[in-house]
Amino acid sequence: MTHSVPWPYGAEMATRGSLAESLEESGHWLQALQCLLHEIRSGHLDDAQTWHTIGRLHQRLGHLPQACRAYAAALLLDPHRPRTCNNLALLELGRLNEAAAERWLMQGLACQPLPIDDEELLQATACDLRLFQLRPDLALGHVERQLGRRESVMALANRAVCLHKLSRLPEAVVAQERAIRLHVAQRAPALLEAAFVDLVGQPCADLASSMQLQTQLMNLALYKLSLDGQDSAGLRLLLAGTSHDQDYWQDPRRRQSRWDGECCQQLIIWDDQGFGDTLQNLGWIAEAARRACSLRIWLRPALLPLVRACLPLPSNCQLEALYSHASPWGKGASQIGFFFLPIVLNQWSPQGAARQAYLKPTPEVKSRFVDAEPKLRRLGLVWSAGRHKAPQPERSARVRDVPRQAFFQLAQQWRKHHQVSLISLQLDGHDEAPVRSLIESGVLEQPLHSTDWLQTAGVLESIDLLVSVDTSVAHLAGALGIPTVLMLSAPADWRWGQTGRKTFLYDAMRLVRCADPGDWSQALRQADQEVNSWFSSIRSEQQFAS
């Protein structure tokens, strides 16, 4: 969940558009846009800066074609606009079009001489682009050039992101703490003496500053917890993730209804992050139910059949479908997102006993997918974290992907040596080399053809062992108690820690790790050892039983 500055840059304001400025600063982007468009139609405004602002507002609202047209109008009136080029680079990066983003970035940097503010924005965008290209070393170079001219919140925060990606975790914590202190000094100096944890949920100057502060605190939490999964301050700082978006500051009901883990009359737990986060935290439903007279569980429709069939629920629980734009904070109940459930319950304990399987498929579910007498043992495989539509989750997924060629060479060795069937638990990526040829030759089975999580659970129940990268299928396997070898990139996601073979999250899971960012050789060697050891132990048990 690490983020750099989340919006298009260039928030400079022209004095003549004071109403639009005020509306934009307060987060009323559509009203600000309507105000400026009215001024254009009335003939009062028609200059490059106005069109740039219209483009920025469209971009913030997700109206990307309209943003492109407005930026084009700004450049037609004034071709020497580095901030407009910068925002177009960000727009193309948001579309995952790195070549177009690179072109706009270079065009912006060519607008010499560059004011220091404009250069900083372009260097920050260059940092984002290099991170997307999985080159944190180059990204850090752009940040250091920024810092060589001026220390800023943006540069320090981006430095922390780069250092984290390079596994320089203590340095990342220091850089993030400096970014937060500088942000507070500039925007809310009265809070300078406050401890970081006391800044969670604190307003700061204006809407944008408040949101950015909470994002910075959330990132600090992730860096601290990557170093120490039991860091108490880090766990408390995670709650900044509940207050880093616009709704939290514009709708008082959201702030007032956030659950703190105490006993309450009615509680809503809602599906707020990725599928993996929700699958992981379903295991704490029973504890939450003990603290509420009535517990409503809001899940995306794709998860409902799985949970209905496989999760034993206390009698005071009710499952409901969660649709886009739902507002659990508007129902007169306490509420918390699934991601934060173990934190508010004070149940996050990496040194504690590992959790046993908490998803229990019924015999009817198993009978649909599990062969009563399989001819061969079945080895499940997940080699990619899937495709995503936004830059941040896409780059996060690509960091977790294992190199295909090396992985499938190992998989074919396992198939031959242990006489197993290879089963893909992927939904996509089957057209890539060498995957397609393995499917066509019958070496790799592809049983999944939909996003049906109950079907995925059924296929997992049919295998003997899963070898997977860090993705939602691995969490589902862990929740079902399927023996799993989890291959982790470096640095690993904070929940797994950076050392050790075991995790308290799932008793049947073993962890193998990259030694350095981007180098999968150690993780593959360890995976080979774990798979060979597992099948050897099974054969020994069979021989002993006979």
Domain ranges within the chain, ordered by starting residue = 15-246, 252-342, 363-545
Q: How far apart are the first and last CA of the chain?
A: 50
* 403 close to 520: Cβ distance less than 8 angstroms: yes
Select 363-545's CATH number: 3.40.50.10490, 1.10.10.10, 3.40.50.2000, 3.40.390.30: 3.40.50.2000
What's the pLDDT at 14?
Answer: 41
Q: Interhelix angle for 116-132 vs 391-400, to 10°? A: 40
Question: What's the CATH superfamily of 15-246?
Answer: Tetratricopeptide repeat domain (1.25.40.10)
* 273 close to 472: Cβ distance less than 8 angstroms: no
Burial (CB count within 10 angstroms: exposed 0-12, middle 13-18, buried 19+), residue 351: exposed
DSSP-derived 3-state class of residue 36: helix
What's the pLDDT at 375?
Answer: 74
Instruction: Tell me the backbone φ, ψ of residue 111, rounded to 5 degrees.
Output: -80, 80
Chain centroid, CA 103 distance in Å: 27
What's the pLDDT at 370?
Answer: 63
Q: Which residues of the chain have pLDDT under 70?
A: 1-17, 366, 369-374, 541-546
What's the pLDDT at 336?
Answer: 98
Cis (ω within 30 of 0) for the bond into 491?
yes
419 closest CA partner among 529, 539, 541, 542: 539
442 half-sphere exposure, CB direction, 13 A CA radius: 0
* 427 close to 385: Cβ distance less than 8 angstroms: no
218 closest CA partner among 256, 176, 250: 176
Q: Interhelix angle for 64-77 vs 82-94, to 10°? A: 160
What's the pLDDT at 316?
Answer: 98
- List, in sequence order, every residue forming a beta bridge with 320; answer none if it has no partner: 298
**How many CB atoms lie under 10 A from the CB of residue 392?**
17
Which region, left, alpha or beta, applies to residue 500 given φ > 0 means left and ψ of -120 to 50 means alpha?
Answer: left
What's the pLDDT at 542?
Answer: 64
Largest CA distance in the chain: 91
290 closest CA partner among 270, 319, 262: 262
70 closest CA partner among 91, 87, 89, 55: 55
How far apart are alpha carbons 428 and 450 in whole angstroms?
10
Cis (ω within 30 of 0) for the bond into 82?
no
What's the pLDDT at 192?
Answer: 95
DSSP-assigned letter for residue 244:
S
How far apart are alpha carbons 91 and 52 in whole angstroms?
13
How far apart are alpha carbons 255 and 123 in whole angstroms?
35
